[in-house]
Amino acid sequence: MARCPAYGASMILHRKLAVLFLAASLYGSLLAQGTAPVDDETIFAAVEAALHGAPSLAGADIEVTTREGAVTLSGSAATMENIATAGRLAAHVRGVSAVYNKIRVANRPSRAWFSTDGMSAQAPATRKGLALALGAWLLCAGAFAEAQLLAPAPVPPDAMMSALTAEVMGTLREDRAAGRDTDLAQLVEKRIVPVFDFPRMTVIALARNSRLASSEQRLRLAAEFQTLLVRTYSNALAEFRDQAIEYRPLRAAAGESEVTVRSLLRRSGAEPLTIDYDMADGAAGWRIYDVKIAGVSVVLAYRESFAATVRESGIDGLIRALEDKNRQNRSRAAGA
Q: Are 207 and 297 in contact (CB under 8 A)?
A: no
- Over residues 189-245, the pLDDT tens digits come to 888 899 999 999 999 999 999 999 999 999 999 999 999 988 877 777 777 777 777
Give me the pLDDT at residue 198, please.
93
228, 87: one domain: no
CB 82 within 8 A of CB 60: yes
Is residue 92 located within the same domain as residue 239? no
**Of the candidates 98, 110, 24, which has an alpha carbon nearest to the alpha carbon of residue 68?**
98
Residues 11 and 68 in one domain: no
- Name the stretches of the chain with pLDDT < 50: 1-35, 109-123, 126, 130, 134, 137-138, 141, 148
Residue 171 and residue 66 share a domain? no
Rounded CA-CA distance 226/196 in Å is 9
Task: Assess if residue 182 is contained within a domain.
Answer: yes
Predicted confidence at residue 142, as pLDDT, reads: 53
- Sheet-wide strand order for 285-293: 244-247, 258-266, 273-282, 285-293, 296-297
Q: Which among 78, 109, 140 is the end of a domain? A: 109
User: Which pLDDT does position 77 carry in this prediction?
Assistant: 84
pLDDT tens profile 176-196: 888 888 888 788 888 889 999
Q: Residues 330, 279: one domain?
A: yes
- Please state, in angstroms and as integers, the Cα–Cα distance from residue 216 to each residue in 15, 20, 154, 223, 319, following that order: 37, 43, 34, 11, 11
Task: Decide if 201 contacts 289 (C-beta within 8 A).
Answer: yes
Residue from 294, 290, 316 nearest 303 by CA:
290
167 and 279 within one domain: yes
In this structure, the answer to whether residues 185 and 311 fall within a common structural domain is: yes
Residue 126 in domain: no
At 31 the pLDDT is 36
Q: Are residues 48 and 11 in the same domain?
A: no
Residues of the domain holding 183 = 7-21+156-335
Q: Model's pTM, two decimal places?
A: 0.59
- The answer on 296 and 184 residing in a single domain is yes
- Main-chain dihedrals φ then ψ at residue 189, nearest 5 degrees: -60, -40
* Predicted pLDDT of residue 143: 54
How many domains does the structure of the chain reveal? Answer: 2
* Residues 187 and 287 grouped into a single domain: yes
* Boundary-marking domain end, from 81, 109, 137: 109
Same domain, 242 and 329: yes
The residue among 87, 95, 52 whose CA lies nearest residue 70 is 95
292 lies in a domain?
A: yes
Residues in the chain: 336
What is the CATH number for 285?
3.10.450.710
Which pLDDT score, from 0 to 100, does residue 323 have? 96
Residue 83 belongs to domain with CATH number: 3.30.1340.30
| pLDDT score for 114 | 34
How many helices, marked H, and strands, marked E, lie in the chain?
A: 11, 9
The SS3 of residue 280 is strand
